Amino acid sequence: MKPILRLLAFAFAIAALHSAPGPLHAAPATKRPNILWLIAEDFCPDLGCYGTKEVWTPNLDRLAAQGMRYTRCFTTAPVCSASRSAFMTGMYQTTIGAHHHRSHRDDGYRVPEGVKPLPDWMREAGYFTANLVEMPLDFGFKGTGKTDWNFTYDAKPFESSRWDDLKSHQPFYAQINFHEKHRAFNGPKRADRAKLFLPPIYPDHPVAREDWGKYLDAATELDRKVGLILAQLEKDGLADNTIIMFIGDHGEAHVRGKQFVYDDGLNIPLLIRWAKSFPLPKNFTVGGVSDQLIPAIDFAPTFLDAAGHAKPAKMQGRIFLGDHAEPAREYAFGARDRCDETMFRFRTARDARYRYIKNFMPERPFLQANDYKERSYPVWNLIKELGAQGKLTEWQKNFYLAPTMPPEELFDTQTDPWCMNNLAASTRPEHVTALKRLRTELEKWLVESDDQGRFPEPPEVTARKGATKAGGDPEKKPKKGKKKAA
């Protein structure tokens, strides 16, 4: 073979090697964006850009204006450990056995083969991973470093906890976790308690108004911290190369929010700002607002795709942005199982208009004893006190103080945004049709997702309440003698 032919053959062989199938769908040398997730705890879309009053969120509002704002994003669980286990794996918590709140803290339970937390996939894609705790000193705060997964993870989930490592380790996938929205709320008093909107599901009482005001003040404080982070990205020259996502880990920390599968327990803010140095993906419009149904398990495959990594074979989440975007969802599913010592089993299906809830334990009351809520939610105890005094509205009395709960619930969220009017018994044709359709879709999902909630937890596991009390990183053992809110 002539030298020139040998050289061409060698070149073609090298090209074929580089184009062989693998985890990346971009060439290794291709520049890829940094990815930063900003994760608030216990937070519904209560920001100025979503129309909330008596909250001041200019930085997050600006982030929304520079990117996209999503109005129908839902977590798959209304409590942190189950929700985070799901969106960090792209899998339903009910599929991978992570559905009971902090259920596998120290029993050696592992997720099924082929399921991994997102940082593992990101490292495989060539990304540096960080869960940021150590922030620039002039910030005056630290990230919480929260992971809180319901499974045993033997390796170190992230490579760094230091902001200073980002600039020299690109591309990076990083998280910053914020505690302001978790009980107890943290933020200077600013919301006018008399002017704020108090949802009608709660008694209009000074205690309830003060509690809701603190929640909004915490959102204002969270926004201040986000502003510092966005400014530092600019200062460090990282802003134009970094995709930013802001979310809540599940719904709001109020009586009927957290731990329950109504919209106020599952609906979260979702803001995404794309990196200026990279082309906008398909389905993304700067300044746009989307009402597409997005369950939080869709985050992992979508951002893996942005990183150039193919969607893992087992991953249940769908890619919702870019050239590899999958069909938009018609339904978002959710579940709640044991939270702390309190056992319920709810399953829910949500479409663009209706929410359907199936209660597998209707014999239990809504206000079933829960030490965490009794300790940390003043309105939880206020409802009991006002009920005893005959000072609740008819709806509040019938909902909160009933000895049982409905086996099925259906709500028209378009006309009834606080899900107060149960239409499950309605004879109107559109309601009958919606009930049958959502019930069927939920039953199908239970089978297709292999819902592990159908198998009761061993009594000795349920009785170990201490395993559910400590928050934060599962790598860290709870300190003896200290209680931490769930």
Q: Is 124 exposed, middle or buried (0-12, 13-18, 19+ CB in 10 A)?
A: middle
Q: How many CB atoms lie within 10 A of CB 303?
A: 24
- Name beta bridge partners: 391: none
Give, as one character, the DSSP assignment of residue 442: H
- Name beta bridge partners: 358: 347, 408
pLDDT at 334: 98
d(C-alpha 87, C-alpha 301), whole Å: 10
d(C-alpha 286, C-alpha 472), whole Å: 34
pLDDT at 463: 65
d(C-alpha 473, C-alpha 479), whole Å: 12
Which helix or strand (DSSP H or E) is residue 177 part of?
strand 172-178
**pLDDT tens, position by position, for the chain (486 residues)?**
444 444 444 344 334 333 333 344 443 446 999 999 999 999 999 999 999 999 999 999 999 999 999 999 999 999 999 999 999 999 999 999 999 999 886 778 889 999 999 999 999 999 999 999 999 999 999 999 999 999 988 889 999 999 999 999 999 999 999 999 899 898 999 999 999 999 999 999 999 999 999 999 999 999 999 999 999 999 999 999 999 999 999 999 999 999 999 999 999 999 999 999 999 999 999 999 999 999 999 999 999 999 999 999 999 999 999 999 999 999 999 999 999 999 999 999 999 999 999 999 999 999 999 999 999 999 999 999 999 999 999 999 999 999 999 999 999 999 999 999 999 999 999 999 999 999 999 999 999 999 999 998 877 776 665 444 433 333 343 333 333 434
How far separated are the first and last CA of the chain, in Å rounded? Answer: 72
**Which amino acid is residue 163, in one-letter code?**
W
What value, to the nearest 5°, has the Cα angle with vertex 291 and ends 417 and 432?
A: 50
Residue 434 tokens, joined:
């919606």
**Which whole-number Å values give the CA distances from 143 to 29, 147, 162, in the listed order?**
32, 12, 10
The fold for domain 32-468 equals Alkaline Phosphatase, subunit A (3.40.720)
d(C-alpha 64, C-alpha 15), whole Å: 42
CB 484 within 8 A of CB 77: no
d(C-alpha 275, C-alpha 333), whole Å: 30
pLDDT at 30: 66
What pTM does this model have? 0.90
The closest alpha carbon to 391, from 193, 205, 197, belongs to: 205
Residue 239 tokens, joined:
């802003």
Q: Is the dihedral of CA 146, 151, 155, 157 positive or negative?
A: negative
d(C-alpha 359, C-alpha 406), whole Å: 7
Cis (ω within 30 of 0) for the bond into 171?
A: yes
